[in-house]
Amino acid sequence: MKKITELKASLAELFDLPRDVILNRPNIYLLANSNLVVENHRGLIKYSLTEIVIRTHQGRVVIKGNQFAIKVIKKDVIAITGQIKELSFELS
């Protein structure tokens, strides 16, 4: 698996392609403490008003806070609003 990842990274560099897309890395955008967008996700694991857990190829993104609402959920994009107090990563 490591060799495949290294090959993909080399190809991305050779062809000047975005590494995050080629290597299935998530893009995470945090706007203030009230809007979060995760691109290149692999599904929602947990959703409540105080905690959201999102699966990615690298592991999990854990968001804690209050009054969460999912504004957009598509195949590869999730947009969340609410009061974000904590953002953490659990790498696999």
Q: According to the model, what pLDDT value does residue 85 have?
A: 97
Count of domains forming the chain: 1
| Whole-angstrom distance, CA of residue 50 vs CA of residue 67 | 6
Q: According to the model, what pLDDT value does residue 18 have?
A: 61
> Helix H segments across 1-92?
2-14, 19-22
What residue numbers bound the domain in which 85 lies? 24-91
Q: pTM of the full predicted structure?
A: 0.78
In-domain check, residue 12: no
Q: Which residues contact 19 (CB under 8 A, 6 or more apart)?
A: 9, 12, 13, 25
In-domain check, residue 3: no
pLDDT single digits (tens) 28-48: 999 999 999 999 899 999 999
Average pLDDT, rounded, for the chain: 87
| Cα 17 to chain centroid, rounded | 19
Average pLDDT over residues 6-21: 64
pLDDT single digits (tens) 15-31: 666 666 555 778 899 99
In-domain check, residue 15: no
What values do phi and psi take at 55, rounded to 5?
Answer: -85, 140
Q: According to the model, what pLDDT value does residue 8 have?
A: 63
| Whole-angstrom distance, CA of residue 21 vs CA of residue 54 | 17
Q: What is the CATH number of the domain that holds 34?
A: 2.60.40.2000
| Whole-angstrom distance, CA of residue 60 vs CA of residue 50 | 16
Q: According to the model, what pLDDT value does residue 24 have?
A: 73
In-domain check, residue 19: no
